[in-house]
């Protein structure tokens, strides 16, 4: 069973700011960025949502691990909630760069250029919800996922 550590020990910069959203904004400002992460009374030490200017994208989910010091992101399309980008990193500054790119509407291939930890799922955006392109996007994701699986050898 994993050990859950005190968030102030794992994430002192988050504890000092009072929430992950506030810490993400502070780190962004240090880099000359302006990530508009809403900070509210209910803001969490472990989760923040970054809005986007792209209508067919969901907010970027940023989360902190409860077990070890690690940040994760997940960016989804709005219609079906399918993941377009994801990634884990030890560097909150990298998260801020990915969040800025997501917010500003960078292309999916442009986001890993801004933050190298970001992985593309293989899906692509289909803003017009064209059924044929949605199916093509999902198949591309499934092919990419299958290619990454370590299948057992079939040779005898």
How does pLDDT run across 115-138, given as a tens digit for each residue? Answer: 999 999 988 777 777 788 778 877
Q: Which two tokens stand for residue 130?
A: 């064209």
Residue 154: the pLDDT is 62
pLDDT digits (tens, 9 = 90+) for 16-65: 999 999 999 999 999 999 999 998 887 899 999 999 999 999 999 999 99
Cα separation, 11 vs 16, in Å, equals: 9
Nearest to 63, CA basis, from 7, 17, 147, 145: 7
For the whole model, what pTM was predicted? 0.84
Other residues' Cβ atoms within 10 Å of the Cβ of residue 18: 12
**pLDDT surpassing 60 at residue 156:** no
DSSP conformation class of 110: G
Residue 11: the pLDDT is 94
Residue 127: the pLDDT is 73
pLDDT digits (tens, 9 = 90+) for 85-119: 999 999 999 999 999 999 999 999 999 999 999 99
Q: Which two tokens stand for residue 29?
A: 């400002």
**pLDDT surpassing 90 at residue 142:** no
Q: Decide if 33 contacts 12 (C-beta within 8 A).
A: no
Residue 96: the pLDDT is 98
């Amino acid at each position: 069973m994993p050990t859950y550590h005190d968030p102030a020990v794992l994430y002192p910069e988050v504890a000092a700011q009072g929430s992950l959203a506030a810490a993400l904004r502070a780190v962004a400002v240090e880099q000359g960025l302006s990530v508009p992460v809403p900070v509210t009374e209910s803001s969490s030490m472990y989760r923040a949502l970054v809005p986007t200017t792209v209508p067919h994208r969901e907010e970027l989910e940023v989360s902190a691990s409860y077990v070890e010091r690690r940040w994760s992101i997940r960016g989804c399309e709005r219609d079906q909630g399918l993941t377009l980008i994801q990634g884990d990193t030890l560097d909150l500054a990298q998260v801020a760069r990915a969040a800025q790119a997501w917010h500003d509407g960078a292309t999916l291939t442009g986001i890993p250029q801004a933050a190298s930890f970001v992985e593309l799922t293989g899906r692509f955006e289909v803003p017009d919800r064209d059924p044929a392109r949605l199916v093509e996007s999902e198949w591309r994701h499934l092919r990419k996922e299958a290619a990454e699986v370590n299948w057992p050898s079939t040779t005898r």
